[in-house]
Amino acid sequence: VQLQASGGGSVQAGGSLRVSCTGVGRALSSYAVAWLRQAPGEGRDFVAAISWDGGSTYYADSVKGRFSISRDGANNAVHLKMNSLKPEDTATYYCAASDRSLSTVIRDQKHLEIWGRGTQVTVSS
């Protein structure tokens, strides 16, 4: 499968955005999918992840209660809805997938075998 990330943009603090990760070539439901982000000069960190069946999710502490990850089977996509955005959420957001379990994936980024290109999210104060 190939991954296509979309939906980034610019928003003021407190606003909302949704980024989407669409699978091409194979059903995304076969994979655990994660969103990660990287701000300039920083490392790449997990933001959220969802199991292959959508039954389990993971969120970084910094986004709990504000972000929501979900599967969209009809469009072979995984969405990340971001509410109450803060300037510190500004980053390039990447989606990635793995055929391993969610619990394995979130232990280490090395378990993510398939990566999409990033989409930029900019939050202004």
Q: What is the pLDDT of residue 76?
A: 97
Q: What is the pLDDT of residues 39-80, one digit of tens each?
A: 999 999 999 999 999 999 999 999 999 999 999 999 999 999
Q: Return the CA Rg of the chain.
A: 13
Cβ neighbours of residue 85 closer than 8 Å, sequence gap 6 or more: 11, 13, 14, 15, 16, 17, 66, 121, 123
Q: What is the pLDDT of residues 8-21, one digit of tens each?
A: 999 999 999 999 99
